[in-house]
Amino acid sequence: MNKNTIDDIKIKMGISSLSGSEVVTLDNKKNIATYNGLAVGTDARKYIQQLFGIIGFWDNKMVDDSVCDGLSYFVYIKNNGKNIKYQGKNKFPFNFNQFLLLINEVKNG
């Protein structure tokens, strides 16, 4: 992507289960990252690059309805007026652990 296409990227991503939820937002223009609504750093651009490396081959939706309780995830990307959504429930991409590690990295600043 060239610079003009990534200036306005805003990302909201997270996981949720019966034990709670974790939500991360990344704002490329302001270079700010938040975790559950609290500012946790100014490395949003680094995290965005990492996220794109992780989700590059994800399907937009992965669901296993055979499990009543479990883990859900989402990634919402807004880029210059275009919206992209990835989501899943109890079925995960091959590199889902990298996604979880990224959430923890943002959380820990």
Q: Please count the other Cβ atoms lying within 10 Å of the Cβ belonging to residue 34.
A: 17
Residues 32-38: what's their mean pLDDT? 96
pLDDT value at 4 more than 80: no
Residue 81, pLDDT above cutoff 70: yes
- Three-state secondary structure call for residue 47: helix
42 compared with 98, residue with greater pLDDT: 98
pLDDT value of residue 5: 53
The strand pairing partners of 12, in sequence order, are 25, 76
Alpha-carbon distance 15 to 72, whole Å?
A: 6
Mean pLDDT of 45-71: 94
Dist. CA 84–CA 106, nearest whole Å = 21
CB 15 within 8 A of CB 36: no
